[in-house]
Structure 1
Amino acid sequence: MSDGDRVSGACSCKLGRTAGKYGLDGLDERLRERRADGASLRRLETVVNEAVLQAALEGADTDVLRDAASIYRNLTGEDVSAGVRTETEAWLSRVGVDPAELDRDFVSYQTVRSHFRECLGVDTARERSLSVDDAEGTIEWARSRSQGIVGRTIERLDGTDGFHCGSVDVTTVVRVSCADCGGSYPVERFLDRGGCDCETDAQTQ
C-alpha cells in the first residue's frame, strides 16, 4: 500500500476517516507535496476541506458546476455575511449535501498536524515558530467560526417563543488590551504595529 493510498484505509485519525468516507485516495501524497513546497498547516487544512467539499458535490444530485473553493469560502470565510453563508447552506441542502454533516467532517489545522506527526511520521516542528501571517489566519478562522455559530444560533431562534428576526449579519470585533502599558487595539492593528508599546516603554526608561 502506498503512502497516497494509506489515508483511505490504515489511518484511523479523523483526517483518515474523513478521506476514506469521501474516497480521497492519494490525499496523503498531495499533502506531502504541498508541505514540501512550503504550504502551512493552515493552508493544508483548506486543501483537505476543499477536497471533501468537491467529493460531496460530485456525489450530489446536481449538474450545476460550481467552484468548490468559492463554496468553501462562502461557508467559512471571515468576511462572508451570515446571509451568504445561509444561502450557500440552503443550496447545498437542495442538491443533497447536508451542510451540518459537511461541517462536522471538515478538519482543523490541528487535525492536519496530528495526522502528519502521528500517521505519516512527518515532523511539523517549524510550525512552532508562529509568523504574523499564520497568527492572522488562525484569528480569522476563529472569528469566522464564532460568527457562524452565533448567526446560526440566532436564525434557529427565529419564530420560536415569539422571537423573530430578518436576515442577520453577525460581526465579531476582537480587541487586544495590555494591562502593562495600557494599550488597547483592534486585533488587526495590534498585529500590524508589531504588538503593544511595552518594549518601547522599556527602552525609554
Structure 2
Amino acid sequence: MSKVERVISEYQLDSMGETLETYWIGEGDEQYSLRELADFFNQTVLRTALERENASLLSGEVENTYRLLTDTTVSSGIRAETENSLAREGIDVERLKQDFVSHQAIHTYLTKYRDVSHESNTDDEGAHIEKAADTIRRLQNRTAAVTETTLKNLRNTERIVLTDFDVLTDVQVVCNSCGRSYPVDDLLEAGGCECER
C-alpha cells in the first residue's frame, strides 16, 4: 500500500483517488500539476482533521493554515503559533504533518497504483487560457483569504484596531503601448489588448 492509499484510508477520503485522477488528466477543463494535487490532497487532510475535532472553519482558513505549516518563507515563530493553535483544537500536529504527501508520492500513486498516464492539454489554446485564468483567480482568492485571516488574527490579539471589514482583490493590467487598463479576466477573454489586434 502506498502512503497516499494509507492516508486516504485513514481519513476516509473515499472519492479522493478518482478526484486526483480527474484533475491530473484534465477532465472537466481542469488540469492540475502534481504540486497542485499534493497541496489539494494535504489541505483536504487538514480540513478533515479539523472537522473531526469540530473546529470552526472560516473561509480560506484551511488554505492559510496549510501555508503557515509548510511554506519555507514562514518564520519559525509564526509556524509555532500555528502548530500551538492546532494543538489547542485537539490536533496531533506531528502526526498530521507526517500524513502530508509530496508531489512525488502523488505521481507514484497515480501511475503505479491507479495506472494513469498523463497527457497535457496545452495544445488547446482556449483550454490553456482558461487554465491561466483559473490560476489567477485561485491566487486572488488565496490572497484575499490570507489577508482576511491575518487581519483577524492581528485584531483578535489587539495588535491593530479594526471593526467589521471586507478584503477586495482586483488585478488590473495596463498596456504600456496605448495606456488602456483592463481587469485581467477581461483582457484574457478579449484575447489581449485592442491596440495589438
Shorter-normalised TM-score: what interval?
Answer: 0.5 to 0.7
Q: Comparing both chains, which one has the higher relative contact order based on Cα–Cα distances under 8 Å and sequence gaps of 6 or more? A: 2
Matched, 1:168 2:165: yes
> Which residue of the other structure, out of 9, 12, 17, is the alignment partner of 1:28?
17
- Alpha-carbon distance in structure 2 between the residues aligned to 1:187 and 1:174: 6
- Distance of aligned partners of 1:26 and 1:197 in 2 relative to their CA distance in 1, 3 Å threshold: closer
The runs of at least 4 aligned residues of structure 1 exceeding 6 Å deviation read none
Contact 1:117/1:124 (CA < 8 Å) preserved in 2? no
CA drift of 1:178 comes to 1.8
Residue in structure 1 matched with residue 188 of structure 2 by the alignment: 191
Per the alignment, in what secondary structure is the counterpart of residue 146 of structure 1?
helix
TM-score, normalised on structure 1? 0.52
Residue in structure 1 matched with residue 153 of structure 2 by the alignment: 156
CA drift of 1:185 comes to 0.7
Letter in 1 for 2:110: L
- Alpha-carbon distance in structure 1 between the residues aligned to 2:54 and 2:147: 30
Percent identical across equivalent pairs? 26
Per the alignment, in what secondary structure is the counterpart of residue 168 of structure 1?
coil
Per the alignment, in what secondary structure is the counterpart of residue 147 of structure 1?
helix
Residue in structure 2 matched with residue 203 of structure 1 by the alignment: none
Letter in 2 for 1:189: D
- Distance of aligned partners of 1:37 and 1:149 in 2 relative to their CA distance in 1, 3 Å threshold: closer
- Alpha-carbon distance in structure 2 between the residues aligned to 1:28 and 1:58: 20
Give RMSD over aligned pairs: 4.6
Letter in 2 for 1:186: P
> Which residue of the other structure, out of 110, 119, 127, is the alignment partner of 1:120?
110
TM-score, normalised on structure 2? 0.53
- Distance of aligned partners of 1:192 and 1:24 in 2 relative to their CA distance in 1, 3 Å threshold: same
Matched, 1:131 2:128: yes
Per the alignment, in what secondary structure is the counterpart of residue 173 of structure 2?
strand
- Alpha-carbon distance in structure 1 between the residues aligned to 2:22 and 2:186: 34
